[in-house]
Chains A and B, each alone.
Chain A
Amino acid sequence: MSGERKRHVIPGEVITSGSYRAEQNTIQVGDNIVSTIVGLSDVHDGSVRVIPLTGGYLPKDDDLVIGKISSHSSLSWTADINSCYVGMLPASDVFGRDYSSSSDDMTAKLAKGDLIAARIVNADMTRDPLITISGRELGKIDSGELVKISPNKVPRLIGKRGSMIQMIESSTNSQVTIGQNGLLVVSSEDPNGLLKAIQAIELIEEQAHVANLTDQVNEMLESKSE
């Protein structure tokens, strides 16, 4: 990453002026490029964007998300996907094409409160996003613990090419399913490992804006639990 130093900005703050393209979370006001959100400014190759430090999750096609079943009709389930929109999971996604609302029992498959790993199929914002649970790594989640972080800290948790999350998983003997929506399921055979993995995730959530985050997490993971 080249370009200008990243700066802390808040809504309304001028990031730079001149001939730049205003990209994510910025607007052009006269000659100035202005931030619309609290975050880190990133001026790069003639374009300006702000990496947000707060805010909700907006569904995008192909995102993996963790959802919580909140209700169902005779044709679909709705899942809370930690967003301003609920995920719609069609009954046919689970029962197949010859699904019949009279003979198939939906709650036997998925009941209120069940957690699922799902993928966003279609998020065009004109209606609630369509999700699927058929596919590799998708489906109902039967074990582990749900952890919630700010959705915009997910990239930080994953790290460069997955380095951060791999470090956490291998040193705590745990598995973490990461939803792009900020919901994670952490599981481990070892209760101490589970606890430590959750603590490491919480540390990233709190310290996402600092530079030496990897060192801090590493230090935490290597310290002996009492």
Chain B
Amino acid sequence: MSDGLIIDQLKKNQILDLLKEGKRVDGRQFDEPRKLTIDIGVIPKAEGSARARLGDTEVVAGVKVQPERPFPDTGDKGMLICTAEILPIAHPSAETGPPQPPVVELARVTDRGIRESGMLDMKQLVLEKDKSVIGVFCDNAVTDHDGNLFDACSYASTAAINACKIPKYEMQDEKPVKIEGEFTEPPITTLPVSVTMAKIGGFIVVDPTIEEWGIMDARITITSNSDGNVVALQKGGSDGFTQEELIKCAELSVKVGSKIREIIKQSK
């Protein structure tokens, strides 16, 4: 079947010609992300869940919360792990089997954005110091791939964690026991939001589609928090950015990110 990642020459020319006129193939502004819709609670049995649809890219994030034995050096903190996988239903090029480097990068960038922002106050997720802590696992499953999976996973994760419920546990005989039916709100400190920009023919566009992704020279993903600070970065692709471009990208990320953050807040 057709490999969506080889962009046909006519489409490539069309994208480049339009960019020179200040336009994009789908009619968006350079700094305009695609329409984002977030539905929370799509997996009722998980402690938190969200489906994020960014244009035609779709991700389902599910949060599981369960007691864990802490790492030896961080016995006074809970545990937070985010993963991401591209399900083979998402695109003809998606593969089963061990994750390839682009998927590993996606998972790590998603995890870094959430973790480095300090989204959850991990000190509040301790049941008994050095013995038992609460683990929050946010797993992202990409179900449809139309480019820019980084942001779709970022939004799905932030929305799912923001909306999750933490079950109550009591220590009995040094073991955590779940108290059925009792939950607390997650200790949210900030809402991290990533914005990915592609550099195509010298132009910088926000939230590239799979076609723009296929012909871009370089990309940068910048995650900002609720205070408008930059909390995580990832540059990718086979070209570089100038200092001016990077400053512009960070401003764009904070500006676009604040609108996205509102959509995530509304979804709860």
**A, B assembled together:** yes
**Which residues of the other chain, A, contact B2 by a CB distance below 8 angstroms?**
68, 80, 82
Smallest distance from the beta carbon of A82 to chain B beta carbons, Å? 6
B6 and A112 within 8 A (CB): yes
Pick from B1, B8, B14: contact of A68, CB under 8 Å: B8
Q: Does B11 contact A (CB under 8 A)?
A: yes
B3 and A113 within 8 A (CB): no
Q: Contacts A68-B2, A80-B3, A82-B2 known; A113 to B14 CB distance under 8 Å?
A: no
Chain B interface residue bracket vs A:
10 to 19
Q: Does A155 contact B (CB under 8 A)?
A: no
Pick from A70, A111, A143, A185: contact of B3, CB under 8 Å: A70
**Which residues of the other chain, B, contact A68 by a CB distance below 8 angstroms?**
2, 6, 8
Supplied contacts A113-B7, A146-B8, 16 more A-B pairs, CB within 8 Å: A56-B1, A68-B8, A70-B6, A80-B2, A80-B6, A84-B1, A113-B6, A113-B12, A114-B8, A115-B9, A143-B10, A145-B10, A145-B14, A146-B10, A146-B11, A185-B10
A interface, CB within 8 angstroms of B:
56, 68, 70, 80, 82, 84, 111-115, 141, 143-146, 185
**Which residues of the other chain, A, contact B10 by a CB distance below 8 angstroms?**
115, 141, 143-146, 185
What residue of chain A has the Cβ atom nearest to residue B2's Cβ?
A80
A184 to B30, CA, bound (A): 29
Smallest distance from the beta carbon of A114 to chain B beta carbons, Å? 5
Q: Which of B112-140 contact A (CB under 8 A)?
A: none
Q: Which residue of B2, B3, B6, B11 has the most chain A CB atoms within 10 A of its CB atom?
A: B2
What residue of chain B has the Cβ atom nearest to residue A115's Cβ?
B8
B1 and A113 within 8 A (CB): no
What residue of chain A has the Cβ atom nearest to residue B215's Cβ?
A113
**Which residues of the other chain, B, contact A185 by a CB distance below 8 angstroms?**
10
A56 to B8, CA, bound (A): 20
A111 to B3, CA, bound (A): 16
Q: Which of B1-34 contact A (CB under 8 A)?
A: 1-3, 6-12, 14
**Which residues of the other chain, A, contact B11 by a CB distance below 8 angstroms?**
145-146
Q: Contacts A84-B1, A145-B14 known; A114 to B9 CB distance under 8 Å?
A: yes
16 pairs from A and B in contact (CB 8 Å cutoff): A70-B3, A70-B6, A80-B6, A82-B1, A82-B2, A113-B6, A113-B7, A113-B8, A113-B12, A115-B8, A115-B9, A143-B10, A145-B10, A145-B14, A146-B8, A146-B10
Closest 7 CB pairs of A and B: A113-B9, A80-B2, A114-B9, A68-B8, A115-B8, A113-B8, A146-B8
A196 to B203, CA, bound (A): 29
Q: Which of B33-47 contact A (CB under 8 A)?
A: none
What residue of chain B has the Cβ atom nearest to residue A114's Cβ?
B9
A27 to B50, CA, bound (A): 45
A115 to B2, CA, bound (A): 13
A113 to B14, CA, bound (A): 13
A68 to B10, CA, bound (A): 10
Smallest distance from the beta carbon of B143 to chain A beta carbons, Å? 21
**Which residues of the other chain, B, contact A80 by a CB distance below 8 angstroms?**
2-3, 6
A84 to B2, CA, bound (A): 9
